[in-house]
């Protein structure tokens, strides 16, 4: 099954890094976060990717075009202009790199890559979120619903700690960044049927996937939520990047390869 990756945004909330490179190319443990996401899918046998490019997309193109040589031990003979490859550590990925426009919104990016998907079920996610969702179980759940779209729903931690307090105002204790009780949000990691094309209108370039298309799917009873209770984290800020770096160094929950 093909996997579509949104990788075209400007990443303004992490501008300390994104001013130099696309957000999906920001590194965790010496590898772009995009690579980590792709490795997670590949662990379940999904090796064909369609990457929606936009801001500084040429950097992502160059990364994959030169991936083989950058991940190989080689001898370069300058006199004969020849290269001998000794060992290579390339991934078994097939990657389509599609320019979907500098300022195109996510619905437009998806609409622009539909010709590369054929009339097949596909998966979709963002280029800045890591998760340990079981892709096989997600796909099985999607197929059981008969709906056009399944979205992974997660319970995100609160940005702030909360106070455990009595009605009288007496404080019993504090809880740092608890999971939101009963509140589910879009965690990405979608499975989608070809019929989604009917929800991506001609003006989709100016529309967010998370708004009109998803709202219309919900209105028609064509979107389901797969509840994920495990690890999920989006890299929006430098602090979150540093947290992911620390996780990688101590045993990353998303590493399934």
Task: Compute the distance between CA of residue 248 and CA of residue 33 in angstroms, rounded to an integer.
Answer: 11
Question: Superfamily assignment of 3-250 in CATH?
Answer: Spore Coat Polysaccharide Biosynthesis Protein SpsA; Chain A (3.90.550.10)
pLDDT for 9-47, tens place per residue? 999 999 999 999 999 999 999 999 999 999 999 999 999
Task: Compute the distance between CA of residue 146 and CA of residue 140 in angstroms, rounded to an integer.
Answer: 11
Confidence of residue 216 (pLDDT cuts 50, 70, 90): very high
- DSSP classification of residue 104: -
- pTM of the predicted structure, to 2 decimals: 0.91
pLDDT for 185-206, tens place per residue? 999 999 999 999 999 999 999 9
Confidence of residue 179 (pLDDT cuts 50, 70, 90): low
Domain coordinates in residue numbering, the chain: 3-250
CA 53 to chain centre: 13
CB-based contacts of 30: which residues, under 8 Å, 6+ apart?
none
Compute how many other C-beta atoms are within 10 angstroms of the C-beta atom of residue 114.
Answer: 16
């Amino acid at each position: 099954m093909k996997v579509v990756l949104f990788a075209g945004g400007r990443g303004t909330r992490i501008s300390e890094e994104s001013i130099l490179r696309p957000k999906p190319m920001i590194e965790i443990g010496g590898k772009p976060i995009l690579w980590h996401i792709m490795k997670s899918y590949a662990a379940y046998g999904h090796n064909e990717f369609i990457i929606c490019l936009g801001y500084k997309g040429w950097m992502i193109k160059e990364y994959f075009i030169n991936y083989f040589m950058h991940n190989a031990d080689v001898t370069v003979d300058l006199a004969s202009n020849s290269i001998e490859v000794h060992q290579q550590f390339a991934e078994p990925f097939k990657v389509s790199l599609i320019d979907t426009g500098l300022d195109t919104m996510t619905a437009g990016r998806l609409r622009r890559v539909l010709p590369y998907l054929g009339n097949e079920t596909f998966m979709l996610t963002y280029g800045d979120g890591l998760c340990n969702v079981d892709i096989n179980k997600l796909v099985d759940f999607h197929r059981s619903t008969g709906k056009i779209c399944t979205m992974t729903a997660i319970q995100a931690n609160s940005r702030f700690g909360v106070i455990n307090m009595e009605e009288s105002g007496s404080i019993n204790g504090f809880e740092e960044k608890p999971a939101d009780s009963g509140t589910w949000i879009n965690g990405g990691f979608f499975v989608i049927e070809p019929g989604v094309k009917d929800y991506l209108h001609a003006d989709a370039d100016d529309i967010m996937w998370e708004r009109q298309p998803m709202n219309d799917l919900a209105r028609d009873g064509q979107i389901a939520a797969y509840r994920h209770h495990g690890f999920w984290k989006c890299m929006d800020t430098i602090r979150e990047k540093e947290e992911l770096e620390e996780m990688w160094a101590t045993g990353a929950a998303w590493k399934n390869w």
